[in-house]
Structure 1
Amino acid sequence: MSKRAEPTLLTDQVYSMIHESIMNGDLPAGARLRVRDLAEQVGTSVMPVREAIRRLEEAGLAERVPHRGAVVKGLTLAELVHVYDVRRLLEVEAARLGAQRISAEDCDRMQAEFTLMRAAVDEGRVVALLDHDEALLSILYEAAANPVLLQTIRNLWNHCRAYKIVGAQGSLDSGGDDPLWRFQERLVAAARDRSGESAAAVNEESLLDATDRIKALLATEQAASADAG
């Protein structure tokens, strides 16, 4: 039994390492996932790496590109709209339900994550600010008492992490970091008021704003690439 489990465990470890590199931006959208290079980096044979890449493809984090092999999934305007439309459907309702049921202690936890997120924004630490933002939202959504809803939302966060990095970095580079924290500040206040409608409205506005900001950034990048080509 242990011999059968060992390859799976190794694949899990390789998957986790590559997944973390995608989530923190070390492997950005479009980066090639060269099997032999990755195997050498993690100190294993190529088989667990191939299996890990297959899992990443199933999770929507990697894709096959002709003449390039496996790459970290690229960013497209169409997918951005689709993913954020689904996020809006789920997270507006999760915020509504969570705010109606959340405890005072959990509101304090949200405030603590907001404070850490603001510090990360001020220091320009993109991955940290996204991590604290997701932690803040998780506390609120967990109060909705629907674990399937929360897990589905977390899967979507993984799927669109590259888009979130682009949006956050773009706001920091422009000097206008207000969209990165003002919605969360209002969300904490709505949770403290136990106002499901206010929380839902804040999330609706926040996700629409994020969609528009990232869409504009991607359009600019694509135009620049076309001009360069």
Structure 2
Amino acid sequence: MTKRAETSLLTDQVYETMHEAIMNGDLPAGSRLRIRDIAAQVGTSVMPVREAIRRLEEAGLAERVPHKGAVVKGLTLAELVHVYDVRRLLEVEAARLGAQQISSADVDRMQTEYELMLAAIAERRVVALLDHDEALLTILYEAAANPVLVDSIRNLWQHCRAYKIVGAQGTLDTPEDDSLWRYQERLVEAARKGDADAAAAVNNESLINATSRIRVQLAAQEDAG
């Protein structure tokens, strides 16, 4: 019993470590998840690593590829477009509902995340930029008081995180492009006014823009490849 509990705890720790590496781009899409190599890196036996990879597969973040074994799951361009289409459906409505009910204290929290996001942009910290952007959006969406909606959106964020990193990095390399912050500025303003239609419109524009930026970056990578 004790050994089983210890193995489960180690599996949780390995899973969190690997999950974080995928979310921050250290393990990009297509990275091979070699069990023995990972076990050596994290200092465990292979069993917790094998179980952690199984959990990643269940979460849709890893997949089995012939002749390669487990790899970090990527998305085709068509799949990515589908993800962003669903994000628009959910996040436009989440912004509308959240703006109707959000408190002034929570709008202040959104403002704080926005300012931290600006600092991350100035310092070219892509992962921190995305973390603060998602935190800002989560505050607004949670105001809608629908946890299933928020969980569904977060799940979609996980699946397209690698491509959000690519898109944000490309935008940082284009100084005249203000799309990393202008939508969030308008979203905070709409939330402060309780303007549900404006919040929904901002999210719609933002996700259309993000889809376009990511398409350009992926096309450039494919050409380079």
Interval containing the TM-score (normalised by the shorter chain): over 0.9
Question: Any conservation in 2 of the 1:113–1:136 contact (CA below 8 Å)?
Answer: yes
| 1:25 correspondence with 2:25 | yes
Instruction: Name the stretch that deviates more: 35-44 or 62-71.
Output: 62-71
Written as runs of structure 1 = structure 2, the 5 A alignment for 1:51-200 is 51-200=51-200
Instruction: Give 1:60 deviation, angstroms.
Output: 1.3
d(CA) in 2 for partners of 1:123, 1:182: 17
Instruction: Output the TM-score relative to the length of structure 2.
Output: 0.97
Aligned length: 225
d(CA) in 1 for partners of 2:4, 2:51: 15
Instruction: Give 1:102 deviation, angstroms.
Output: 0.4
Any unmatched runs of 5+ in structure 1?
none
SS for the counterpart of 1:180 is: coil
SS for the counterpart of 2:200 is: helix
SS for the counterpart of 1:202 is: helix
d(CA) in 1 for partners of 2:164, 2:106: 25
Instruction: Give 1:151 deviation, angstroms.
Output: 1.2
d(CA) in 2 for partners of 1:64, 1:145: 37
The C-alpha deviation readout for 1:150-191, integer Å capped at 9, x for no partner, is 111111111111011011011112224411110000000000
The C-alpha deviation readout for 1:3-45, integer Å capped at 9, x for no partner, is 4322222111110000001111111111111110100011111
- Say what the alpha-carbon RMSD is for the aligned residues: 1.1
Alignment partner, residue 47 of structure 1: 47
SS for the counterpart of 1:135 is: helix
Any unmatched runs of 5+ in structure 2?
none
Taking only the aligned residue pairs, the percentage that are identical comes to: 76
| 1:6 correspondence with 2:13 | no
The C-alpha deviation readout for 1:104-138, integer Å capped at 9, x for no partner, is 11111100000000010111000000000011001
Alignment partner, residue 214 of structure 1: 214
Q: Which amino acid aligns with 1:20?
A: E
d(CA) in 2 for partners of 1:67, 1:202: 45
Instruction: Name the stretch that deviates more: 122-131 or 154-163.
Output: 154-163
The C-alpha deviation readout for 1:47-102, integer Å capped at 9, x for no partner, is 11111111111111112222221111124201110111111111111000000000
